[in-house]
Amino acid sequence: MITSRHHVPATVVPGDPGVEAELLRLHDELAAEYDLREVPYRFGESGFSFLSVLDSYALLDRIDPEEFVKDEQMPYWAEIWPAAVTLSHVIMEELDIEGKSVIELGAGVGMASVAAARRGAKVLCTDYSTEALRFVVYNALRNGVSLDTGRLDWRMVRNDEKFDFVIAADVLYERVNLLPIITAIESLLKEGGAAYIADPRRRLAEQFIELVRENGFVVTESQMHDATGDKTVAVTIYKLERAVK
């Protein structure tokens, strides 16, 4: 079930005083709780700017032990991972998603969702962490796009809404998540739709692909490389489509 739904309207006029005031308010709220960094990116012909946490490891001390025992959630949402950068390139430069419905799983600070919204998609950006969704709201406003946000636990997807595209970046990091992610994709994807999963070639990705094929999907792989800082990271994009019966 998707909860905590929130609509972020597009910035109609660049530099609109109301939008600028809201951005300042949100930034001040986040800055009071986190050390922040804002970094420019370019996908295709479009420039973006994304706010994230300066050091996600600093958030480890904030984890409630009782909550961790319950769901073992780590603050992975706080960083922008190379797979999200790669997926955003693909969305902006290769996918025809204008006017299509898109849901992102495990969105973190929302980079790929913002890119999809910039391309004209109707986007629902989800994450398990409500902290992450606060950054998504800021980044959507900052980049002048309209999207919806919502809290989603991919282990318990009970939703009648279907989407043309399901997207996710770097979510295949724990074995226990593999089948729930597949079940979520199966539940959320329209007939004839496609899921795009970006992964930095983790070992678990091979097991994920085996399970995906066992569950009736055809998989197409594209291998890409993205430069991040002083190193280049290899990322694979998996396109999942239901097998034709």
Q: Using one digit for the tens of pLDDT, what is the confidence trace for 75-111?
A: 788 889 999 999 999 999 999 999 999 999 999 999 9
Helix 130-142 with 111-118: angle, nearest 10 deg: 40
The predicted pLDDT at position 125 comes to: 98
Predicted local confidence at residue 69, as pLDDT: 41
Which residue do the tokens 């597949």 mark? 182
Residue 176 has pLDDT above 50, yes or no: yes
Strand locations in 98-216 (E): 101-105, 122-127, 147-152, 163-169, 189-199
- Global pTM? 0.91
| pLDDT tens per residue across span 111-132 | 999 999 999 999 999 999 999 9
In whole angstroms, what is the distance from residue 76 CA to residue 170 CA? 10
CATH of 13-242, one of 3.20.20.80, 3.40.50.11740, 3.40.50.150, 3.60.20.10: 3.40.50.150
Nearest to 80 by CA among 99, 117, 121, 52: 52
Whole-number pLDDT of residue 63:
55
Report d(CA 86, CA 186) in Å as an integer. 24
Over residues 198-220, the mean pLDDT reads: 94
pLDDT at 72 over 60: no
Residue 17: pLDDT over 60: yes
Distance CA 214, CA 218 (A): 10
Domain ranges for the chain: 13-242
72 phi and psi angles, rounded to 5 deg: 55, 40
Strand partners, 223: 236
